[in-house]
Amino acid sequence: MELCRLLDFKDLGDERGKLVVVEGAQDIPFEIKRVFYIYGSDNEVVRGKHANKESEFVLINVAGKSKVRVTDGIGEHVVELNRPMQGIYLPKMVWKDMYDFSPDSVLLALASTHYDGKEYIRDYDEYLKIMGVKK
């Protein structure tokens, strides 16, 4: 399965500074229903640690940097997000961890759904069973 896809956004900046535009269903593969952002996490913290049955996400470090580890229980990708012009698309049903946050990290998340805690899988063993990797 596709674990993730890097997205490069256009820089519409000029001599006044940078400008990055992200339009739902155009620059990213879904209509945006929800936006949240994570900041103030230090480099000891691991966030995420879940998979989503319904939600797709695009993560963008609009400031600072962090790492995202994505797995389906078999394959794995680790991506450093460190540019406001780059995002990572995460499809449904991938397991993700975010970590190594720089002190100035602001990690913007665009989601395809409204929040519903019931569509989260937070137990890695349960995830592996659902994915058929573990009995």
> Could you tell me which stretch among 24-32, 34-42, 62-70, 82-90 binds ligand TYD (CB under 6 A)?
34-42
Distance CA 110, CA 107 (A): 10
Size of the site for ligand TYD (CB under 6 A): 6
Spatial CA neighbour of 60 closest among 26, 24, 22, 91: 22
Distance CA 47, CA 11 (A): 29
Could you say whether residue 23 binds ligand TYD (CB under 6 A)? Answer: no
Pattern of binders to ligand TYD over 113-132, x per CB under 6 A?
Answer: --x-----------------
The residue among 10 and 115 lying less far from ligand TYD, judged by its C-beta, is 115
**Single-letter amino acid code for the residue at 24:** G
